[in-house]
Structure 1
Amino acid sequence: MTNKKMDPVALIRREIELLESKVEQLRDRLMTDAHRAIDKAKAQAEKAREKLKAEQTKLGELQKKAKAKMDSRIQKQVDRAHSAVDGARELELDAKAVMIMAKNQLAELKGDYQRAKALAKAAQDAAKNFDSKTKAAPKKVTTKKAAVKKVPAKKAVAKKTAVKKAPAKKAAPKST
Structure 2
Amino acid sequence: MASKKMDPVALIKKEIEALEKKVEALRERLMADANKAIDKAKDQADKAKAKLKAEQDKLKELQQKAKKNVDARVQKQLDRAHSAVSAAKELELDAQALMIMGREQMKELREDYRQAKAMAKAAKDAAKEFDKKAKPAAKKTPVKKAAAKKAPAKKAPAKKAVAKKKAPAKKKAPAKTAG
TM-score strictly above 0.5: yes
Partner residue, 2:41? 41
- Rounded Cα–Cα distance in structure 1 between residues aligned with 2:55 and 2:94: 17
Partner residue, 1:168? none
Question: Post-superposition shift, 1:5?
Answer: 1.3
Q: Deviations over 1:84-104 (max 9, x none)?
A: 001100100011111111111
Question: Post-superposition shift, 1:142?
Answer: 3.0
Matched, 1:30 2:30: yes
- Rounded Cα–Cα distance in structure 1 between residues aligned with 2:73 and 2:20: 67
Matched, 1:12 2:9: no
Matched, 1:130 2:102: no
Partner residue, 1:141? 141
TM-score (norm 2): 0.78
Please list every run of 5 or more consecutive structure 2 residues that lacks an aligned counterpart in the other structure. Answer: 153-179
Partner residue, 1:21? 21
Greater CA drift, 134-143 or 4-13: 134-143
Partner residue, 2:91? 91
User: Bigger radius of gyration, 1 or 2?
Assistant: 2
Quick one: structure 1 residues 144 and 28, their matched pair in 2 at CA, closer, same or farther if it must change by over 3 Å?
A: same
Quick one: structure 1 residues 145 and 58, their matched pair in 2 at CA, closer, same or farther if it must change by over 3 Å?
A: farther
- Rounded Cα–Cα distance in structure 1 between residues aligned with 2:66 and 2:55: 16
- Rounded Cα–Cα distance in structure 2 between residues aligned with 1:141 and 1:27: 45
Partner residue, 1:56? 56
Question: What code does the residue aligned with 2:82 have?
Answer: H
Q: Deviations over 1:13-55 (max 9, x none)?
A: 1111101001101101110111111011111111111110110
Superposition pairs of residues 61-80 of structure 1, within 5 angstroms? 61-80=61-80
- Rounded Cα–Cα distance in structure 1 between residues aligned with 2:144 and 2:91: 75
Question: Post-superposition shift, 1:134?
Answer: 1.2
Equivalenced residues, count: 150
Question: Post-superposition shift, 1:144?
Answer: 5.0
Partner residue, 2:108? 108
Secondary structure at the aligned position of 2:4 is classed as coil
Please list every run of 5 or more consecutive structure 1 residues that lacks an aligned counterpart in the other structure. Answer: 152-176
Question: Post-superposition shift, 1:123?
Answer: 0.8
Secondary structure at the aligned position of 1:137 is classed as helix
- Percent identity over the alignment is 66
TM-score (norm 1): 0.80
RMSD: 1.9
